Structure 1
Amino acid sequence: MSKDIQAGDIAADRSDNFDYIVRHFLQGPHFFQSSVVQYLYDWWQGYEPSLPQRKQFDLVEHAAIAPNLFLIKVLGDGRFEYRINGEEVVSLVGVSLKGEMISPDHHDIAMANLARYYQEIVEKKQARACTGNLRPAHMDVLEFETVDCPLVDKNGNITHIVGAIGTN
């Protein structure tokens, strides 16, 4: 599993609750500390060697982990839109990004990095993960992990990225 940290991935450059973020490439089985993150990754990996289609991801079927889920729509040209942010996502991150458009030229360096990260998922058609620390309001520092999984249309084009965040 390779890792990378970029400018904008540490607290001084951020406007949310993240202290720092380390991004990882995933291949094959992976074991997460968070049960919600593991659940989503196991669901996604269950479609190998194919990728699941967006229509195969029904939020109702994942209701138990819905508060920890987020869904990103791929708009093309490196642009993305946050479509769903579960309640726990908002609580941990400190802000709702629902409806937010991000791209590599976003004015917030953290959001620009996130757009580049999502673009790598689109280009490689591979899940990725993040780990690090965050500081939700009025709480101690928490270790977190996420998984970000591409979803395709009937032609095999990545149209969405579904993800989950959990704490250890």
Structure 2
Amino acid sequence: MADHSALHRMHGIKEAPVDSATVFESGRCAHLHGWWAACEAGEPPPKKAFDITDHGGIVAHLFLVQRNASGFTFRLYGEEAIHILGVNPSGMSVRTFSMERYGYDLEEYYRTVCDSRRCYRCSGRLAMAAREHFRFESVDCPLTDAAGGISHIIGVIDLIERVNAPALAEGDDERR
């Protein structure tokens, strides 16, 4: 698959912990969070509790991030998640990938998700190939290892709707 990530840019990113007032726009995000919340009564479930065969409707939008001593590594990306990002980042360092490709430190966000032991909702705008603009939503859910420590984040990313491209100020680069 070609690498189109240099042409895909995220803007206006908002992050918030999921709580009882959170309303997901994406049914896929709502599905994953519903599974997570039902597993351990609001505590992060173990990674082994996630059975992919129970989540067929969201598989293409799933991603898995592993927490390790040096930070975070992308482990798995579904086909639609790859399409949304413009590249398959599996095996890459989260910090290196996110700073180089998007100018956004996703690792700090993932650290917040892990430290809080809560799901987070992320939303914003995505410019694909600087032509098509969409609103996106994702949910990031921490998972535990056998000892109860946060070892992974499982998530879903979904496009919500196509929107008009924002007006550019003089001298603005639409790839940012």
Question: Which of the five TM-score ranges fits, normalised by the shorter chain?
Answer: 0.7 to 0.9
CA RMSD of aligned residues (A): 2.4
When normalised by structure 2's length, the TM-score is 0.77
Corresponding residue for 1:36? 28
Query: Relative to structure 1, is the Cα distance of residues 85 and 117 closer, same or farther in structure 2, using a 3 angstrom cutoff?
Result: same
Give the partner amino acid of 2:35.
W
Corresponding residue for 2:59? 66
Counterpart CA distance in 2 for 1:16 and 1:126 is 32
- Deviation, structure 1 residue 15: 3.5
Contact (CA 8 Å) 1:146, 1:164: kept in 2 or not? Answer: yes
Query: Relative to structure 1, is the Cα distance of residues 128 and 162 closer, same or farther in structure 2, using a 3 angstrom cutoff?
Result: same
Query: Relative to structure 1, is the Cα distance of residues 18 and 64 closer, same or farther in structure 2, using a 3 angstrom cutoff?
Result: same
Corresponding residue for 1:51? 44
- Deviation, structure 1 residue 59: 1.7
User: What does 1:8-157 align with in structure 2 at a 5 Å threshold?
Assistant: 15=6, 17-20=8-11, 21-28=13-20, 30-46=22-38, 47-77=40-70, 79-103=71-95, 108=100, 110=102, 113-137=105-129, 140-157=132-149
- Deviation, structure 1 residue 139: 5.9
Query: Relative to structure 1, is the Cα distance of residues 69 and 80 closer, same or farther in structure 2, using a 3 angstrom cutoff?
Result: same
Contact (CA 8 Å) 1:150, 1:158: kept in 2 or not? Answer: yes
Query: Max radius of gyration: which structure?
Result: 2
Paired residue total: 154
Contact (CA 8 Å) 1:70, 1:162: kept in 2 or not? Answer: yes
When normalised by structure 1's length, the TM-score is 0.81
Counterpart CA distance in 1 for 2:149 and 2:7 is 31
Contact (CA 8 Å) 2:14, 2:122: kept in 1 or not? Answer: yes
Counterpart CA distance in 2 for 1:18 and 1:84 is 21
Segment drifting more, 46-55 vs 130-139? 130-139
The CA deviation string for residues 101-122 of structure 1, in whole angstroms up to 9 with x for no partner, is 1348x86384761011101111
2:83 is paired with a residue whose SS is helix
Query: Relative to structure 1, is the Cα distance of residues 102 and 140 closer, same or farther in structure 2, using a 3 angstrom cutoff?
Result: closer
Counterpart CA distance in 2 for 1:65 and 1:53 is 19
